[in-house]
Structure 1
Amino acid sequence: MRISTTILWTLTVIAIVSGAIGPATAASAMVRSGDTIQLGDSVFRLDGIDAPEVDQLCIDDHADPWSCGVEAREQLGKLIGGRAVRCDDLGPDKPLKTRKIGICTVDGDKVSLNQQMARAGYAVSADPAARYRAKDDVAAAKEALSGLWKGCFVAPGEFRSDKKDGALLGASCRADRDREIRAVLFPDAPSAPPGCSIKGKFAVRARVTGNIGIYHLQGCPSYPATTEPDRWFCSEDDARAAGFRRAFNCRAAKK
């Protein structure tokens, strides 16, 4: 299996936001995934696109599994390259109100990060979009077999919802290998990506706090009992950005 590095990119980001957040401020930020940037306590999801989850697997053009979610995150980090970024706050993200949606652009660039990720083939279009309509850029990436499109994958939304019978996307999908491909994309026992030891479970009770699931840290009483995690995360911040809250019995545990 081809695995990309799991180093999180720490970046200097300047956010230009509207409403309650106020004027631009400088802060240390991190790229959480191929479509999510965190600035201080605020998380921005790039409007109009949906990139693979960090723990999502795809199949490359050589029919080998690869950690496309990690690579998408690294691609976004490379596009930023340590430069300042300006994010227009387009309001709260309806599916996950703890984060915001935004159009983010690196200082000196004329094209937004949203559009660059779509053009590079590391994201599909996400509708409804507040402002950026990615369909044309995604179609161009698909035609050029860029990024994800040269292999075989499922849309991130279908991965998140565990829709095993969803459409297979990409040039390397083979109808005669459908069962084998889906077994790779939706493993019965998903392996943790290197450095990602936090277990996540979807939970209806998490919705009380505006989340979609609960995560469990090593050393927490609930960790050993969570034998079949739905998701794996590399850090607590990654889990929070994905809409998971810490298990209540982990409050006293070390991060």
Structure 2
Amino acid sequence: MMIKRTIVSAVFAFAAGIVSAADFPKGDSASARVFMELHSIQRLSGVLTPLLTVPGGAFRIVEGDLLALGNLRIRLVGIEAPEVAQLCNSAQGDSWECAAEAEDRIRDVLRTAERIECFSNDRDSYGHYLASCKADGLDVGGLLVAEGLVWPDQEQGYYQPEAAQAQAASRGIWQAETPSPSDWRRQQD
């Protein structure tokens, strides 16, 4: 019985990939495509289930990439938000509170959403769930990268098209040379 379920799940997963890839308009980001394919697979095969589905406003924002719901901690996968004490450089040569702005933006997105879904199958070394979250169908990590409020995680390789567009438009963190959060932490030691 378990083998049958695995085979059926694999067939549904393959079909979901074909169907959902055909539904995307040209120019859609690869990260959104992957996320939507995972969501389609979850719906068709029942293999992946959301870590949680909650109404908007349910989360508390710990940092620009870390959410809390009670004792549950979720780190948004694929992004690096500015550290709480980190300032970002502006085009005018001064600095701005990029960490606070990233936190405010994610708070607004999650607060105004009717439904938030987070998908996870892994945890980090601190026990936080590593998850992709959607607010009313909008990929939260991709939005923050596209608006220039967070960096894409270079090791994971997500959100590169969104980062390139934000950088080309000199949005947010890309308006002047600013160290990434990992580089900033090294400079503080």
Would the TM-score normalized by the shorter structure come out above 0.5?
yes
Q: Report the equivalent of 2:178.
A: 153
State yes or no: 1:143 paired with 2:168. Answer: yes
Count of residue pairs brought into register by the alignment: 142
What is the CA distance between 1:23 and its match in structure 2? 6.2
- Match 1:40 to one of 70, 79, 86: 70
CA shift in 2, pair 1:70/1:125, >3 Å: same
- Superposed structure 1 runs of 4+ greater than 3 Å apart: 21-28
Q: Report the equivalent of 1:106.
A: 135
CA shift in 2, pair 1:23/1:144, >3 Å: closer
Q: Report the equivalent of 2:97.
A: 67
Is this contact kept in 1: 2:64–2:99, CA < 8 A? yes
Is this contact kept in 1: 2:82–2:98, CA < 8 A? yes
How far, CA to CA, are the matches of 1:45 and 1:37 in structure 2? 6
| Amino acid of the structure 1 residue aligned with 2:140 | L
Local SS of the residue matching 2:126: strand
Q: Tell me the alpha carbon deviations over residues 182-227 of structure 1, each in whole angstroms, 9 at most, x when there is no partner.
A: xxxx6xxxxxxxxxxxxxxxxxxxxxxxxxxxxxxxxxxxxxxxxx
Give the TM-score taking structure 1 as reference length.
0.49
State yes or no: 1:31 paired with 2:58. Answer: no
Gaps of 5+ in 2: 1-46
Is this contact kept in 2: 1:28–1:40, CA < 8 A? no
How far, CA to CA, are the matches of 1:154 and 1:22 in structure 2? 32
Is this contact kept in 2: 1:37–1:45, CA < 8 A? yes
State yes or no: 1:77 paired with 2:107. Answer: yes
Is this contact kept in 1: 2:133–2:141, CA < 8 A? yes
| Amino acid of the structure 2 residue aligned with 1:118 | V
CA RMSD of aligned residues (A): 2.8
| Amino acid of the structure 2 residue aligned with 1:86 | E
| Amino acid of the structure 2 residue aligned with 1:117 | L
Gaps of 5+ in 1: 1-17, 163-185, 187-229, 231-255
Q: Tell me the alpha carbon deviations over residues 61-109 of structure 1, each in whole angstroms, 9 at most, x when there is no partner.
A: 221122111111112112223323111123102xx332111000112x3
State yes or no: 1:88 paired with 2:157. Answer: no
Local SS of the residue matching 2:107: helix
CA shift in 2, pair 1:81/1:25, >3 Å: closer
| Amino acid of the structure 1 residue aligned with 2:80 | D
Q: Report the equivalent of 2:144.
A: 117
Is this contact kept in 2: 1:47–1:103, CA < 8 A? yes
- Percent identity, please: 24
CA shift in 2, pair 1:61/1:127, >3 Å: closer
Give the TM-score taking structure 2 as reference length.
0.65
Q: Tell me the alpha carbon deviations over residues 119-161 of structure 1, each in whole angstroms, 9 at most, x when there is no partner.
A: 11111121433xx711121111100111111133100111122
Is this contact kept in 1: 2:54–2:117, CA < 8 A? no
Correspondences of 1:78-227 after superposition (within 5 Å):
78-83=108-113, 84-93=115-124, 96-107=125-136, 109=137, 111-129=138-156, 133-162=158-187
CA shift in 2, pair 1:25/1:73, >3 Å: closer
